[in-house]
Structure 1
Amino acid sequence: MSAVMAPGVPNRICIVMMSAVGDAVHVLPVVNALKRANPNTRITWILQPAPAALVRGHRSVDEIIIFDRSRGLMAFANAAAQLAKRRFDLVINLQVYFKAGIVTGFTHAPIKLGFDRARARDLNWLFTNRKIAPSPIQHVQDQYFEFLTVLGVAPQPVEWDLGPWPQERQWQRRFVASIDGPIASIVVATSKPEKDWFPERWAVVCDALHEKFGMRVVLVGGRSARELAAERVVMERAKHKPRSELGSGLRNLVSILDASALVLSPDTGPLHMSVALDTPVISLMGYTNPKRTGPYRRFQDLIIDAYGEPGEDYPITMENRAGRMRRIETRHVLDKVQLWQDRYAGTRAR
């Protein structure tokens, strides 16, 4: 049924969002708004190990339950065992897939709020007893805000409070002191090869950032096989070798991105982390729809949109378009760097 609920934020809430880092970043303004509306509410969040490392210790997250999908069926068994001991007033299922539905089914709450049937996929809607109203597809952030609307909670001001937190500032100061110039952080790869840009082109950009813009390049991300392969190509081809901070950890990555004058990234978690930190980010987008998963209401002028055809007013959809990232040439990226220099360079106070 559609959500017919008394407005207000109850005292015990469970968030089901077990997706990747970018989605976790989009959830933070939701939990912050819930806490603003009811500072006494206790928020439990079910999520995967990687995004858990990012949000653990956040002021609005009281408890984390890990769902480690790499463990297969044991991940469900462990989640069921932990949730059997807990009672909630409200469960908010922010995911549209079947696995999130199963975990929602493990929770104990009189109200389980999820997406409307048209947007819930893989029978996910079967596991919730209240639905947000049907709506056209929006930016992911705005879709999450629809859940706040049902509760009578305003999403504004949109706050992430991602950090760096006070105990992380010392590490950040040491990192900044070790680099003799403004930092440009490059995200070398994503979770999907279709979203990646080409490392040989990143190498050209590295040299231009150094030679033309006087910047010091830092490679950031994890240590997956593709990220390490991209790092190797960049290091081999760039005349001015960047510094690699691959595998530094998500909390240190927050400090790096916060200290950066500029971030360059495909559609992946660090792009959205940069937006949350108000760090200018050049977004390289071709596979995913920028209107749905691009930077949220900031740095729209720095998007390189290879998703659409020239002049195409495409709708907001979940459609992916393969093969579009190759359309992005190094000159497109450097044009955006020039735009960043003209509009944003030197404007950030830290």
Structure 2
Amino acid sequence: MPLFTDAPKSLCFLRLSAIGDVCHAVAAVQAVQRHWPETKITWIIGKVEAQLLEGLEGIEFIIFDKKAGYAGMKAVWQQLKDRKFDALIHMQLALRASILTLGIKAKYKVGFNKQRAKEGQWLFTNKKIDDVTSEHVLDSFLSFAEYLGVPKQAPQWNMPIAQSDIDWVNQKIPTDQKVLVISPAASKDERNWVTERYAQFADHAMEQGYQVVLCGSPSEREVQLGEKISQHMKHQAINLIGQTNLKRLLAVLNRANIVLAPDSGPAHMAATQGTPVIGLYAHSNPKRTGPYLSLHLTASAYEECIFEQYGKPSSALSWGTRAKGQDLMQKIHLDTVIERFSAFTSAQPN
């Protein structure tokens, strides 16, 4: 039985971070909105992630500043002290997020099944979703909507992009060219692909008639990575690393015909735009965290790494098992990525 047979008056979603997981959560929240347009939706979210979702229709955002620690929690509780929700949908496993739920009043507090919950999350909820079989994180998030009473459906996203951001992209990237966006940096350098291979692949794409655009944050390590890729290239890419905020990056990914990225937020941001992604994976399972609409394009060494480290396939290990090591991404060969790119280009209309 679903938790609600009629539209609830108010729901509160709690998913604070990270960018990729927040993109997955948008699909679940918007599925609820389509089914119950009259339900009042509140979303407790991280400070950075809120910048990406600004302007989403029909959602009240409550920003939690994790850097503020306990004071940040008290600020959220103060904003919600006079309210009680029909349900709090607790989609974050971290203990800090669970502690945050203690000051939020709701008839039902819905969390992950005990088999999937970590850091004691099941202790903070009084309802658990049934799902323990979904491989992909996005499917597990959609299971929350289904548990509430929303019919199962394929994910859809409606992420607003301002005309000013579209205009900026059109000034930076020629509008008459096919575009490959390379977002080379993951959250940890060990999850980045080999710099020279990024450059070699970029040159290959340009020789196939694509304009290559590099994108990323203004952090020093990402700026340096972009510069090194450019130095190794024979052709000239458009380097936008450090020039985009999250909204502008969304516009760049919307403009792209295809994206190359390791396991990172931009890979999932591209999915919200329906843009195909060649995902580069060695540490985490792409079946669990890969770009949802482009899993067939993934270039992965994950199973190879897992078998080397555990002596068994990932299917025999716990959900979310990661491979560990500094040099795993070197196992993803240039030829493999070119093959994925060729599979994409050959399927495109002339």
TM-score by length of 1: 0.89
2:216 alignment partner in structure 1? 221
Q: Say which is worse superposed, 44-53 or 125-134, in terms of deviation.
A: 125-134
1:186 alignment partner in structure 2? 182
CA–CA separation in structure 2 for the residues paired with 1:215 and 1:240:
11
Name the SS of the counterpart of 1:89 in structure 2: strand
Name the SS of the counterpart of 1:19 in structure 2: coil
Name the SS of the counterpart of 1:65 in structure 2: strand
Match of 1:342 among 334, 339, 346: 346
Deviation at 1:194, TM superposition (A): 3.1
Letter in 2 for 1:333: V
CA contact (8 A) 1:29 1:155 kept: no
CA–CA separation in structure 1 for the residues paired with 2:204 and 2:47:
37
Does residue 132 of structure 2 align to residue 129 of structure 1?
no
2:295 alignment partner in structure 1? 300
1:37 alignment partner in structure 2? 35
Deviation at 1:279, TM superposition (A): 1.1
Letter in 2 for 1:271: A
Structure 2 CA distance for partners of 1:233 and 1:59, relative to 1, 3 Å: same
Does residue 61 of structure 2 align to residue 59 of structure 1?
no
Structure 2 CA distance for partners of 1:198 and 1:70, relative to 1, 3 Å: farther
2:320 alignment partner in structure 1? 318
CA contact (8 A) 2:45 2:63 kept: yes
CA contact (8 A) 2:131 2:140 kept: no
CA contact (8 A) 1:235 1:242 kept: yes
Structure 2 CA distance for partners of 1:203 and 1:155, relative to 1, 3 Å: same
Deviation at 1:238, TM superposition (A): 1.6
CA–CA separation in structure 1 for the residues paired with 2:223 and 2:105:
43
CA–CA separation in structure 2 for the residues paired with 1:97 and 1:9:
29
Q: Say which is worse superposed, 314-323 or 182-191, in terms of deviation.
A: 314-323
CA contact (8 A) 1:8 1:151 kept: no
CA–CA separation in structure 1 for the residues paired with 2:145 and 2:341:
36
Name the SS of the counterpart of 2:61 in structure 1: strand
TM-score by length of 2: 0.89
Paired residues in the alignment total: 340
Deviation at 1:180, TM superposition (A): 5.7
Deviation at 1:36, TM superposition (A): 1.5
Deviation at 1:135, TM superposition (A): 1.8
Matches within 5 A, 1:9-158: 9-60=7-58, 62-133=59-130, 135-136=132-133, 138-158=135-155
CA–CA separation in structure 2 for the residues paired with 1:15 and 1:144:
11
Deviation at 1:174, TM superposition (A): 3.5
Deviation at 1:176, TM superposition (A): 4.1
1:256 alignment partner in structure 2? 252
Structure 2 CA distance for partners of 1:252 and 1:119, relative to 1, 3 Å: same
CA RMSD of aligned residues (A): 2.3
Structure 2 CA distance for partners of 1:108 and 1:241, relative to 1, 3 Å: same
CA–CA separation in structure 1 for the residues paired with 2:77 and 2:111:
19
1:49-79: CA deviations, max 9, x gaps? 222111111124x211112223333322322
Instruction: Calculate percent identity across the aligned residue pairs.
Output: 33
Structure 2 CA distance for partners of 1:34 and 1:243, relative to 1, 3 Å: same
1:238-289: CA deviations, max 9, x gaps? 2223212223011111111111111001111111122221212111111110
CA–CA separation in structure 1 for the residues paired with 2:226 and 2:172:
20
Does residue 283 of structure 2 align to residue 279 of structure 1?
no
CA–CA separation in structure 1 for the residues paired with 2:337 and 2:132:
35
Name the SS of the counterpart of 1:191 in structure 2: coil
Deviation at 1:4, TM superposition (A): 7.4
Name the SS of the counterpart of 1:240 in structure 2: coil
CA–CA separation in structure 2 for the residues paired with 1:142 and 1:37:
17
5+ residue gaps, structure 1, are: none
Does residue 329 of structure 2 align to residue 329 of structure 1?
no
